[in-house]
Amino acid sequence: MSLSEESVSFAQQQGADLVGVVSLTGLDFPTGHRPEDYLPEAKSAVSIGYRLSKGSTLNLPQARNGYVLEFETANQELNRINRELCKFFEQRGYLAFGVPGTASIGDKKRLAADLSHRHLAVAAGLGKFGVNNLVLTENYGSRVRFTTVITTAELAETDLETEIECSECLNCVEICPVDALKGGQAKYSPQEGWRIAKERCYHQIFVKLNGKRCGLCIKACPLNR
Ligand code: SF4
Ligand code: SF4
C-alpha cells in the first residue's frame, strides 16, 4: 500500500466519510490563504469530509438546536481526525499541519478557514460546487463539513471524480432569509464556486441567530435526500 493509500485508509478508520488526496503543485491560492503560509514545503493535501445526519437538517428552523449540536460535533470530529492524521505523518518522518475547520477557531467574521477546505475538496474530486456555494457530494449532497491536512509528504493523488451536478433549481436561493445567494446562478462555477454575500450570511448567523448556525440552504437542496 502506498503512503497515500495508507493515509486515506487511516482517515477512514478515524471516522472520515470522504477522503481525497491532491497535490498542491499547480493549484492557485489567494494571498494569505496559501499552504506555504502555514507549512513551508507543503506538497500535498488530504481533504477530509464528515457528513451531517440527514435528520438534523430536514426540520430546520424548528430543529435548530439539534442542528447546531450536529454541526459543532462534526467540527470537533474533523479537528480530532486532523490531529490524528498529523501524528500519522509525523510518525513517518514528515511534517503536517491540520487546518482548523471553517470559522471554528479565530476570526469568525470572515466566514472562511485559513485555507479553503471546499476548494481543496473539489480539487480532490470529492464533489462540485453548487449555487449554494457548498460542495455537493455524490452520497450526501451538501450536508458535509470539510477539513484539510497539508503535509510535506509527496502523496499520489486519489484521482476521484464525482458525477453530481447542481440542478440549478434555486431552492437554496429562495429559502435564504437574507438573499445572500441571489445572483449566484449567473456567477457560480462547479469548480470554483463564487463569492456569496457573506456579510449578510454572517449577520444572520452571528447577530440575528446569536451564533447558532442557519443551515437553511443545506435543508433546501434536493440532492441531500
Ligand atoms: S446559511 Fe442561511 S443565511 Fe447563510 S447563505 Fe445559507 S440560507 Fe442564507
Ligand atoms: S438547492 Fe438547487 S440550486 Fe441550490 S445547490 Fe442544491 S441543486 Fe443547486
| Residue range 35-58, pLDDT digits in tens | 989 999 999 999 999 999 999 999
CB 36: neighbour CB atoms within 10 A?
A: 11
166 lines ligand 1 (CB under 6 A): no
| Grid cell locating 224 | 441531500
| Band of residue 113 on the pLDDT scale cut at 50, 70, 90 | confident
Q: Is the CB of 19 under 6 A from ligand 1?
A: no
What pLDDT sits at residue 105?
A: 47
Pocket test for ligand 2, best of 143, 176, 223 (most atoms within 8 A of CB): 223
What is the DSSP code (8-state) at residue 179?
Answer: -
Q: What's the distance, CA 72 to chain centroid? A: 14
Domain boundaries, the chain: 3-224
Q: What is the pLDDT of residue 109?
A: 55
Is the C-beta atom of 134 inside 6 A of ligand 1?
no
Q: Which of 14-28, 30-44, 126-140 has the lowest mean pLDDT?
A: 30-44
pLDDT per residue over 141-186, tens digit each?
999 999 999 999 999 999 898 889 999 999 999 999 999 999 988 8
Percent of the chain with pLDDT over 70: 95
Q: Which residue has the cell 478508520?
A: 13
CA dist 15 to 10, 18, 49, Å? 9, 9, 9
pLDDT at 112: 66
Quote the cell numbers at residue 39.
507549512
Mean pLDDT of the chain: 92
